[in-house]
Each structure stands twice: as C-alpha cells, then as structure tokens.
Amino acid sequence: MRKLIGGAIYLLSGALGVLAFIYPFFTSAGALVQRGAAHAQDAPLLTAGLVGLSVVALLVELQGRTLSAKTVAMLGVLVAFTSVLRFLEVAFPMPGGFSPIFGPIIIAGYVFGGRFGFLMGTFTLLASGLVTGGIGPWLPYQMFTAGWAGLSAGWLGQASEWMKDKMPGPAHAKEEQRMAQDVSDADVIVLCGFGFVWGLLYGAIMNIYFWPFAVGPAAQTWEPGIGLGKTLARYGVFYMVTSLAWDLARAVGNVVLLLALAKPMIRALNRFRRRFHFQVRGSHSDLTGLENHA
Amino acid sequence: MLDARVWFVWALTTLVAASATRSPLYIIVLLLTTMVVGGTCAAGEGRRAPLSPLRFAMVAVPLSALFNALTIHLGDTVLLHLPSWIPLMGGAITLEAVTFGALNGLTLTVIFAAFSVFNQVTPVRDLIKLTPRAFHEGGVVLSIALTFIPQTTRSLQRIREAQAVRGHRVRGIRDWLPIVVPLLVSGLERAMGLAEAMVARGYGAVCSEKQPFRTQALIIVGLMTLLAGWLAYLFNAAWSAPAVAVIAIGAVTIGVAIWLTGRGVNHTVYRARSWTAGDSFALLGCAVTLVAACRGRAALYYSPYPVLTLPSFDPLMGLAMLGLLVPAIVTVAREDAEMHRDPDEGNGFSKQPQTSTDHG
C-alpha cells in the first residue's frame, strides 16, 4: 500500500513537472490571450511556483523513505565534489553550455539508482547555486531538470542490469562480472549516448518554460490553438536557431567527460557502495545494560 | 542586518514587479532601487557577486536588442532592410523591435541585480537556517556539502601539486584522470568516516521510520488539487479566480504536510536571531510594492509596438515601487544609530556577559 502511495506521489509530482514545461503545447486556444496582455506574465510566475511545490512534495517523500546516515554522508560529499566542478565552470568559462556537473550526476544515478540520482541532481544545483550566487527564479527548473537527469540515469542502470541478466552466456561468468562490478565498453557507450541526449534535452527543457512568451517571427513562436504538430515544428525551428549550437557543446562535453571518467568513477563508486553496506547492531548485553541504566 | 526571510521576500517582490512591466520608466525605477539597496546593504559584505549587474547589463541589453531586432520584424519605424533571402532574419529592422529587445534586457538585469543582492547580503548559514524542519535531512546534506566544498577544493589543490611533483602535466581531458579519481576516492573515504561517526552518535537510529500515512495522503491530495486547479487555470480563462483558489488550497495542503513532517523533528538553535522592527518595516515596504504590482497591471503595461510612443508614468505607482527601498533605509538608520551610540554602552566591560544554557 505504502509503495503504491509513494509511486502515486512520484507520478503526480512528475506529471506536474512535465506539464509545467509542456503546457503551452496543450493550452486551449485563446485561454491565455483572453486574460489580456497585462496578465501575460501570470502563467510563468504561477508555473514557477508550482514547479517549486512539486519539487518540495517529492523531496518530502524521498527524504522520508531513503535518507539514512550513510546516504546523507555519501550524498553530501558527492554534492560537494560536483559543486567544486561547478566552481571550475564559473572560474574558467567552458565552451557553449558545457558544464562538468552532468557527468557525475549521471554516473551517481547509474550506480546508486534513480532516487539517489534525483537527490544528487537537485542538491547539486541547489548547493552550487548557494556558493556561486546562482539563486534565482530559474533555480527550481534547473533543480527539477537535473533531478530528472539523475532519476533517468538510475532507470538506465536498472535496465542495463536487466539486459545483462537476459543476455545468453554462462551463469557463473555473469555472476563473476557482477561480483567484480566491472564496467564494460558497452556500458560506457550507452552512458555516453545518454549523456549526449541529456546535454541537448536539458537545454530544450529549460527553453520551453519561457518560449511561449517569447515574441518573434511566426515560424518560431507559439500561438494559441495552432495544434501539437505545428507547435512542435515551430519549437524545433526556434531551438535550432537559438540553442542548438550552445547545447551541442554541452552534449559533446558530456560525451568526452563520460568517455574519460565513467569507467574509473563507476569502479570507485561500486567499491564504496559495497563498503557502505555496514550495519550497526547492539549486542544483547549492551541492550540489557542500557535497560538497567534507564 | 535584516532577516534572511525578509531578503527572500524582497528578491521575490522585485522579480514580480519587474516581470509585470515593460515600461522603461518603471524598469529604471526598479533598477535604481535595486542598485541603491545593493550599494547600501551589500557594500560591507564579504561575498562578491560573480558578475556585476552593470557588466550583465552591458552584455544582456545589446544582445537582447540585437536578437529581437533581427528576429522580429514588427513595428512602423523601419531603420533598414535585410535581404529577404536570409532565413529568419530577412526583413525590416525596426526601432520598436530594438527598443523592446533592450527593455527585455533591462528587465533581466533588474532580476539579476535583485538576486545578486540577495546572494551577497544573506550568509549561506542563514539560508540553510531557512530550511523547514521537514527538510532537516536535506539541510544536513546541504550543510555537509557546503562544509566539504572548501576541503574538496584544498584536496584538489594538494592532489594537483602532488601529481605535478611526479611530473604529471594536464594537457587534455584524459590527464585530469589522475587528479579527479583520487579526489573522488578521498572524498568517499571522508564520507565513510562521517557515516560511521553519524551512526555511532545515533543518527541512523531513526532512519528506518517510515513516512506517516497521513502525511503521504496529504501530499497526494495537495498535488492532485494543484494539478486540477492549474489545468482549470490554463484551459479556461473564465475559471481563473476559482482555479487560483483551488491552487491555493493545494499549496496550503502541501504546506500542512510539511508542517506535520517537521513537527516530529527536534530543532535547536545555538544563537537565535530575534525579529526586529526594521524587519517588519522592510516587509511592509515589500507588501506595498507587491500589492501595487499585482493590482496595477494596467498602469504598468507598456508596449512599443506598433509605433514607439512615450510611456506613461503614474506617480503613485512609482511611489509604491519605492517600497523596495526600505531595506536600504533601515540599514542606513541602523548604521547611524550605531555611530551615535554611547561609546561606554555595549563595550563588554560594564555589563555581565549574557550566557544561557537550554537544557530542553
């Protein structure tokens, strides 16, 4: 029952977040226009508030279910590690939209699962925003999108495990590979492809929240009631003209970073994942002593 | 120094006011207000913005004007024509489009300047203190991250030096490997030690407690209400008012869930900051501006299309915008009061030190 409720919270906050980004594609004709030009900016402000609330709701759920001392410590240190990379980005401007933070977020999600990946994405953007002075109305969107990148990396990791199980081959070889937590070249290639897609997707998603309110030539701007196909075509043109080159730098940067770092980072994280599986159990005599003391 | 919550409200109010208008007169009033507040309140703070608002404006305003002029061919005052065979940019370049683009750039500058001031005047520890009790674990993660950032930076420096001594030179991305991997491993070792210390001090003792069913149910109801209200708002303009009410109910429901979650968390403050009259005064100033910006949309509206006209200016609205100036007034008044304070007062010799121990 609890799993079902947890899943419903994921689904609802995810739906709210997705709709927050793509609602202009489905809004009824004229609904925004009828409110008048003076209220044109109401919807983006309201949307920013809703995105913030859905992030908050999801965080309440995630915190209540997973955050043990080990997760808290691991997450804190990995967020610090990634935030230092963001420092490098601020200090030495990188080409286009390239940011070295996405590689570690994707790798952490891939190794530790979707929940950890989501928390890693949101907290990395929040912590680095705090230390680099990057707090602003854009932050909830950045947190949500980076969280999704981490969450989907977790799903990719699970899919990869499932595929390895289904692949033909001797069972003992698979077991040996699992015990060694080895990373194959195929894993790295899949991760690079995933990083490339998220490099483009991050920019495309972050554009959508302001695109409906941008004024421009008819071939690039949204109008109420033009239909899904036309809207997608116009957004495609807008994206190609304004963002593609910028986002390509991020996508290619992610690929280069993952090619260089994925194998050693996954090996290191896997090693520590096994070490983090310690359990503290009090002995019977300790407990009796405590009871007597009380 | 004002309370961090007041600064947060101030930055949000500036964002709302700047988003509500494209009139250059009001934008300039907002920009000047933000710069005065920044100059007065953030001048003595140690934290510096990575980019000054002036530099931001020097990039954002021309770029926005250029982009708008090249891509929007509306307006009656034609400056020049670009050949129509140039895709997307071909057509008339108008004065109105240049003006609107520049105004967009100025609006962005106001928002950037307001959040720069917010980032400069609020210490990170105060921002973490703003974390609601329900997110205390998130707050712990943030605290650990912010504490480890300087250590990680020092480790990076040490590892680079150690590798340089061994003759390692960074020429390409692969050369970062002997630096990044030891940095990650040393960080994870610290995480291991920290986790053991936290478990030893009983941190993990309550981690297995599940989220109460009541809280989960409230979150679901809140999210569903938000979704319903929002869809109603987007798809039917006639339902705007009830839809906003439904959204507010959803937000309050989630707020109650957060409050209930936070009730079970013990929260202790080593040195509590008391709310002052200056905080209330600054909040009142923000409220005046916020109400004016929300209710006076018609007065704030301006569009340079189709022909550039002079914008109108409502002195009352302009006066309401000055509500954002209150933090600067409060800061100046405090500094003035401190300068004129009796030198014997508060020097630590005439009074007993105030210490208190809370055994709760």
Contact A60 B203 (CB under 8 A): no
Q: pLDDT tens digits for chain B (360 residues)?
A: 788 889 989 998 998 898 888 899 999 999 999 999 998 988 766 566 667 888 888 988 998 888 788 877 788 899 988 887 776 677 888 999 899 889 988 998 998 899 888 888 888 777 777 777 777 778 888 888 888 888 888 888 899 899 889 888 877 777 888 888 899 899 889 888 888 888 888 776 654 556 677 888 888 898 899 888 888 887 777 777 888 899 899 999 988 988 888 777 776 777 777 889 999 999 999 999 999 998 888 888 888 888 899 999 999 999 999 999 999 999 999 888 888 775 555 444 444 444 443 333
Q: Distance between CA atoms of B174 and B133, rounded to whole angstroms? A: 43
Contact A133 B49 (CB under 8 A): yes
pLDDT-derived band at A91, boundaries 50, 70, 90: low
Q: Which domains does chain A have, with CATH numbers?
A: 1-18+44-66 (no CATH), 67-169+179-274 (1.10.1760.20)
A292's enclosing H/E stretch is helix A284-293
Does the pLDDT value for residue A164 go beyond 70?
Answer: yes
Contact A72 B50 (CB under 8 A): no
pLDDT of residue B353: 42
Q: Which range (A99-103, A123-127, B121-125) has the least confidence?
A: B121-125
More confident residue, A109 or A36: A109
Residue-wise burial string across B36-54, b where 16 or more C-beta atoms lie within 10 A, e elsewhere: bbbebbbeeeeeebeeebe
Minimal C-alpha gap between A108 and chain B (Å): 12
- Partner-chain residue, chosen from B145, B261, B297, that has the shortest CB–CB distance to A80: B145
What residues contact residue A286 under an 8 Å CB cut-off, 6+ apart?
none
Tell whether A245 is within 8 A of chain B (Cβ).
no
Contact A45 B19 (CB under 8 A): yes
170-229 in B: which are within 8 Å (CB) of A?
A: 173-174, 176-177, 180-181, 183-185, 187-188, 190-192, 194-196, 198-200, 203-204, 207-211, 213, 215-217, 219-220, 222-224, 226-227
pLDDT of residue B341: 72
What integer is the mean pLDDT of A80-99? 75
- Partner-chain residue, chosen from A80, A220, A272, that has the shortest CB–CB distance to B149: A80
Contact B215 A60 (CB under 8 A): yes
- Partner-chain residue, chosen from B127, B188, B236, that has the shortest CB–CB distance to A77: B188
Per-residue pLDDT reduced to its tens digit, A187-240: 899 999 999 999 999 988 888 767 766 656 666 677 766 777 777 888 888 888
Q: Which candidate, A112, A113, A90, places its Cα nearest to that of A100?
A: A90
pLDDT of residue A246: 85
Contact A73 B191 (CB under 8 A): yes
Contact B258 A60 (CB under 8 A): yes
pLDDT-derived band at A92, boundaries 50, 70, 90: low
Both tokens assigned to B268: 């202790």
Minimal C-alpha gap between A88 and chain B (Å): 10
Minimal C-alpha gap between A159 and chain B (Å): 26
Residue-wise burial string across A188-224, b where 16 or more C-beta atoms lie within 10 A, e elsewhere: bebbbebbbebbbbbbbbbbbbebbebbbbeebbbee
Are A267 and A183 spatial neighbours (Cβ–Cβ below 8 Å)?
A: yes
Does the pLDDT value for residue A175 go beyond 70?
Answer: no
DSSP A149-198: HHHHHHHHHHHHHHHHHHS-S-HHHHHHHHHHT---HHHHHHHHHHHHHH
Tell whether A276 is within 8 A of chain B (Cβ).
yes
**The model's pTM:** 0.72
pLDDT of residue A66: 53
Contact B257 A60 (CB under 8 A): yes
Q: Distance between CA atoms of B89 and B70, rounded to whole angstroms? A: 5
- For residue B101, the chain A residue with the least C-alpha distance is A215
Instruction: Give the start-to-end residue ranges of the domains of chain B.
Output: 4-131+212-338, 135-206
Does the pLDDT value for residue A294 go beyond 60?
Answer: no
Per-residue pLDDT reduced to its tens digit, A128-156: 877 766 676 678 888 888 998 999 999 99
Contact A50 B226 (CB under 8 A): yes
Chain A residue numbers with beta carbons less than 8 Å from the beta carbon of B137 are 63, 67, 72
Chain B residue numbers with beta carbons less than 8 Å from the beta carbon of A13 are 223
Cis peptide leading into B306, omega within 30 of 0? yes
Chain B residue numbers with beta carbons less than 8 Å from the beta carbon of A135 are 115, 118-119
Minimal C-alpha gap between B336 and chain A (Å): 29
Q: Distance between CA atoms of A45 and B15, rounded to whole angstroms? A: 9
Tell whether B256 is within 8 A of chain A (Cβ).
no
- Helix (H, G, I), strand (E, B), or coil: what is residue A273? helix
- Partner-chain residue, chosen from A130, A137, A268, that has the shortest CB–CB distance to B146: A130
HSE at residue B114, side-chain half, CA atoms within 13 A, is: 29
Contact A56 B258 (CB under 8 A): yes
